[in-house]
Structure formats: structure tokens, C-alpha cells
Amino acid sequence: MESALRRCFTIRVILFLLFSLLIVATIQADTISLASVGTAADPHQTNTIGNTIAIAADRPWASALSGSSWVSFASTGKMGPGFQHVTNGTVVSFTDVFNLSGTPSGGTLRVMADDSAAVLLNGSLLMGEASMTGNGYHTCSDFGIGCLKPTTINLPGSDLHTGSNTLVFEVAQRGGFSFGLDYAGSVNEVLATPELASVTLTAFGLMMLAGLVYLRKRGLEPK
């Protein structure tokens, strides 16, 4: 009797271990999109003056990047009724807070600004504002981040966190009238999710059935 119970216990342990081995970690890649859309579309996008709003682009500016809008704290883009002039020396910080649920592996960001901007990720400076030395500001900054074409910036995985992350754009007015920011990009992350694969689940069911048949034949069917 004792021997039979021992065999029954052993079989149950083996079946349990087989079940445990069928639980696999599925690795999934995910991408988080980033884009300047304003506070109304994304409450995590604000600036040091208040809400961030979508604005009409100034005529010389490049078109807004796909999925984004030119943004500012007021109507500072296209000149016309309601236009608000931004005085030289003004620097406004625009913030975009986003969340990552997995392990970040890096990303890229394309940025435009009038006149120029510095970009920080979680406090780390990724790119500084264009130097004023030799900068004519014919439309916006003549080099570095400007308004005529996007500047691509890498988002290092080492500067990204699982959980909350903060992008800051310090947009500066240095030599002109219009003022604005536009950006778009993405962050890659890896998600590990424990789950039972359908094929292995079927295999487990067959093994469990075989174990029960074995117990019945020996009069050791679990109660």
C-alpha cells in the first residue's frame, strides 16, 4: 500500500513538472510612437507657459512630420490675425511624458524648431541648441535643429526607463518673429509574457490523459 501511494505521488510530481515546463516566456517587440500633437490630444504634452497647442505653420517652414503638428504655447507660427510675436531671448520648455511597459532598446526622433532647440531625455542632453556664432537666422537656425528640414536624434536605450520617461524640448527664439516646434519618432521595447503555447498545451493534455490511464490500470487513480 505504501509503495503504491509512493508511486502515485511520484507520478503526480512528474506530471506537475511537465506542466511547469510548458509555461514559456513569449518575447514580443513593441513600438511606442511619439509626436507633437498638443495638450488637447495628449494631456502629457505641456510647456512652461501652459498648454501646448497645434499652430498653423509659418510659410517657410517644412511641412509637419507625419502624424504630428507644429505646436507652440500660442499662435506664434503663421503671421496674421491673432499672431503673437515672441521676443528674442525667449526660451520655452516643451515636455512630453510617455510610459514604457517593457524593456526599452532605443529609438529615434526627428525634430524641427524655429529658431532652434535643445533636446533632453530623462535629464540627459541629446542635442544642444545651435550655436549663435556664425548663425544668420535667415529663416530659423542656419544649422543644427532648424525649421527647414528635420534633424534626426537617436534615443539611447541606456537613457530610457521601464515606466515613465520625459522628453524636454527647450525651444529658443534668437533672431526673428515666428516660433514653433515639431517632432515625431518612436521607441522600441521588448515585452516578455508567460503563456501556454497551443501546441504544447495539447501535448500536455495527452500526457495527462496517459498518466491517468496508467493509474487506472494499477488501481491508483487519484481520488
Q: pLDDT for 24-69, tens place per residue?
A: 556 788 899 999 999 999 999 999 999 999 999 999 999 999 999 9
The verdict on 132 and 209 lying in the same domain is no
The verdict on 17 and 70 lying in the same domain is no
Please give the pLDDT value at position 211: 55
The verdict on 158 and 108 lying in the same domain is yes
Give per-residue pLDDT as tens, 120-175: 999 999 999 999 999 999 999 999 999 999 999 999 999 999 999 999 999 999 99
The verdict on 78 and 156 lying in the same domain is yes
Higher-confidence residue of 2 and 56: namely 56
Identify which of 101, 59, 92 has the alpha carbon closest to the alpha carbon of residue 78: 59
Q: At what angle do helices 198-217 and 2-21 cross, to 10 degrees?
A: 170
The verdict on 36 and 91 lying in the same domain is yes
Cβ–Cβ under 8 Å, residues 165 and 157: no
Cβ–Cβ under 8 Å, residues 211 and 11: yes
96 in a structural domain:
yes
Please give the pLDDT value at position 13: 46
The verdict on 212 and 119 lying in the same domain is no
Please give the pLDDT value at position 203: 54
The verdict on 61 and 165 lying in the same domain is yes
Give per-residue pLDDT as tens, 176-194: 899 999 999 999 998 776 5
Number of Cβ atoms within 10 Å of the Cβ of 38: 19
Number of domains forming the structure of the chain:
2
Range of the domain at 57: 28-193
- Residue recorded with cell 535643429: 145
Q: What is the mean pLDDT of the chain?
A: 85
**Mean per-residue pLDDT for 92-111?**
97
The verdict on 137 and 71 lying in the same domain is yes
Q: Which residues contact 195 (CB under 8 A, 6 or more apart)?
A: 23, 24, 26
- pTM for the full model? 0.77
Q: Is residue 6 over pLDDT 80?
A: no
